[in-house]
Amino acid sequence: MSTPTKEAAEPASKIDMKESGGGGEVPSFEITLQVRRYDPEFSDEARWDEWKLTMYGTDRVLDALHKVKWNIDGSLTFRRSCAHGVCGSDAMRINGRNRLACKVLLKDLDTSKPIMVEPIKGLPVEKDLIVDMEPFFQSYREIMPFMVNNSPAPTAERLQSPEDRERFDDTTKCILCAACTSSCPVFWTDGQYFGPAAIVNAHRFIFDSRDDAGDMRLEVLNDKEGVWRCRTTFNCTDACPRGIEVTKAIQEVKRAVLSRSM
Ligand code: SF4
Ligand code: FES
C-alpha cells in the first residue's frame, strides 16, 4: 500500500468558510481518507493513497474528496454532479458498502479509523473511482425504459387512478446510480446478468396500467440472464440510496413472469 500522507490547508466547501457564517460554529475533526487509485496511463496496478484532513460536522465524503482534489492532488478522479443525491453519479464503496458520496456524512462514520473509498464493483475501472457504466446502461436499454402505448393519443392526458399509480410508485424513484447492481454478488461473478437496476426500471413500466409492452419486457427478463439469476441476498435493497425495495420489486417481476406464462 502506498500511503503519501498530506495535510489539506483549505476548506472543502463554502460551509467551512468563516465569511459564510459556517466555519466558526460547526465542530471540526480530523479524518484519515484512503482512496483506491488506478491510472492505466502510469501503472497496471491499483494502489491506495491516504490523506489526513480537517473536516466539519456538516461535511460529506464528497466534501473530503473535493478537499483533496481542489487543494492537494488534482489528479484524483471521480464523478459527481448534483451533490445532493439526485443525479446518481457518485456511487462508490465507502468502508465496504455502496453509498452515494454526497449522502454520507463523515460524522456518521467511525472517524477513529481510516475512511476507505473504492470504486463500485463488477464494472471495469477506468480511473480511480470512475467505472465504465456502459454494461450497466446496456441492460437498462434492453428492458425498454419508456412508455409504450399503441392506442391513439387522447386529447388530454392518459388518466390513471391513484391505486394504479401507487402500484409502481416505489420504482419510479430510481436515479440509475448502479449502487444496487454493483452490490450484487451474482453481477460480480456473471457479467451478463441484467442486474437489479434494470429489473427495477422494467418494473416501473410493467406495472403501469397505461403501458402496453409489459409482456415484451417480461420476455426479456425471462432470459437465463434475467430475473432468475437473483439469489435474494438483499444487498441491492440495502445499497439503494433512494430506499427502493429492490428485492421486493424483483420478486414481483418474477411472479409476473410466472403468471403471464401460465
Ligand atoms: S434501484 Fe436504487 S440503487 Fe439501484 S440504480 Fe436505482 S436508485 Fe440506484
Ligand atoms: S452527486 Fe448527484 S447523487 Fe451524488
pLDDT digits (tens, 9 = 90+) for 179-202: 999 999 999 997 789 999 999 999
Q: Does 102 contact ligand 1 (Cβ within 6 A)?
A: no
| Residue ID of nearest Cα to ligand 1 atom 5 | 176
The H or E element containing residue 203 is helix 196-206
Q: Is 197 helix (H, G, I), strand (E, B) or coil?
A: helix
Residues with CB under 6 A from ligand 2: 80-83, 85-90, 100, 102
232: CA distance to ligand 2 center in Å? 27
Q: Does 249 contact ligand 1 (Cβ within 6 A)?
A: no
In sequence order, which residues have a C-beta less than 8 Å from that of residue 141 and are 6 or more positions away? none
Closest ligand 1 atom to Cα of 175:
7
Sheet holding 28-37, edge to edge: 47-56, 28-37, 115-118, 91-94, 97-100
Contact 49, 4 (CB under 8 A): yes
220: CA distance to ligand 2 center in Å? 30
177: CA distance to ligand 2 center in Å? 9
DSSP code for 109: S
Query: How far is residue 166's CA from residue 246's CA, in Å, rounded to a whole number?
Result: 16
In sequence order, which residues have a C-beta less than 8 Å from that of residue 25 and are 6 or more positions away? none
Contact 213, 149 (CB under 8 A): no
Identify the pLDDT of residue 9: 47
130: CA distance to ligand 2 center in Å? 14
CA distances from 222 to 114, 180, 208, 218 (A): 43, 20, 19, 6
Identify the pLDDT of residue 26: 84
Residue 6 has pLDDT above 60, yes or no: no
Ligand that comes closest to the CA of residue 176: 1
Ligand that comes closest to the CA of residue 203: 1
216: CA distance to ligand 2 center in Å? 32
Q: Does 31 contact ligand 1 (Cβ within 6 A)?
A: no
pLDDT tens string 40-83 = 999 999 999 999 999 999 999 999 999 999 999 999 999 999 99
Residue 2 confidence class, pLDDT cut points 50, 70, 90? very low
Identify the pLDDT of residue 46: 98
Residue 22 has pLDDT above 90, yes or no: no
In sequence order, which residues have a C-beta less than 8 Å from that of residue 60 and are 6 or more positions away? 101, 102, 103, 104, 105, 106
User: Hey, what's the cell of 162?
Assistant: 391513484
DSSP code for 153: P
Q: Does 184 contact ligand 1 (Cβ within 6 A)?
A: no
**Best mutation site among 184, 230, 242 for ligand 1, i.e. most ligand atoms within 8 A of its Cβ?**
242
Q: Is 163 helix (H, G, I), strand (E, B) or coil?
A: helix
